[in-house]
Structure 1
Amino acid sequence: MDYVLNPKDISWHRLEKPGFPGIGFEFSESVVDADYTSVYSVQLSKIGPGGKSKLHRDPYNHAFYVTAGSGSVRIGKDSWDVEVGSVIKIPSGEIHGFSNTGDTDLEFVVIYDPPYVAGTDPVQTLEN
């Protein structure tokens, strides 16, 4: 198990494949996963300027902590502006989507409950 990950050790994966609900969206591999706990998992994510995640719903709870940039999040029918320090909670099955409204990357820590590995569970996209 790696106890410390430095930024240069993190591999980023652009997720712009058919059916994926994002434009300009990148995720790290899990930085906290089954080698540490089976209760939750953690990834890092970023959306480039002008990028977004399309409205979608996921089959798990997840929470975001914004570490850089600014943007907006829609959850259900409501929208909020987000900035560094914002905490966003998305319950399982809730419709949501993010947009980067700034001119730098919108970066956040994502905590999944139960644990999740990107690309392993179906995500229901609700817009083109």
Structure 2
Amino acid sequence: MKLVPYWEVAPESIEDPEASGVKMRWVISQKDGAENFAMRVVEISPGGHSPLHRHPHEHEVFVLKGKGVLTCEAKESPLIPGDVAFILPDEEHQFRNIGQDKLEFLCLIPVKK
């Protein structure tokens, strides 16, 4: 079992020229013995954004803090704490922080096998 406050997991900056102000905490991953899913806490600074991208796996998102916009297949949807999003495989998507504070969300993805 792993039990730890998520803020004790060191954040990693996303080094992608198409992203700005994004950090990720891998709170549960294959390193912990997770065989099916990984859980990340994504943090986006005010004015920051993830890259506009797509990938062959689905992922699930739960917004914890802040105010943002999710662009998915060119449609923009607001994000506030308590919102959930399900992004299908190969859907083009991007997260943007439009608030004054950090945008923070849980993101679950399948582990690479």
- Identical-pair percentage: 28
User: Following the alignment from structure 1 to structure 2, what is the Cα–Cα distance between the partners of residues 13 and 102?
Assistant: 22
2:77 alignment counterpart? 80
| 1:1-80 equivalence runs, <5 A | 1=1, 3-18=2-17, 21-29=18-26, 31-34=27-30, 35-80=32-77
Q: Indicate if the aligned counterparts of 1:16 and 1:24 stay in contact, CA closer than 8 A.
A: no
Shift of 1:36: 4.4
Normalised by the length of structure 2, the TM-score is 0.88
Q: 2: CA distance between counterparts of 1:80 and 1:60?
A: 21
What is the count of residue pairs matched by the alignment?
111
Root-mean-square deviation (Å): 1.6
Q: Work out the CA distance in 1 between the residues paired with 2:7 and 2:75.
A: 37
Distance between the aligned counterparts of 1:85 and 1:55, measured in 2? 23
Report the counterpart of residue 94 of structure 1 in structure 2: 91
Gaps of 5+ in 1: 117-128
Report the Cα distance in structure 1 between the residues aligned to 2:21 and 2:38, rounded to whole angstroms: 23
Q: Which shows bigger deviation, 4-13 or 49-58?
A: 4-13
Runs (4 or more) in structure 1 with deviation over 3 Å come to 34-37
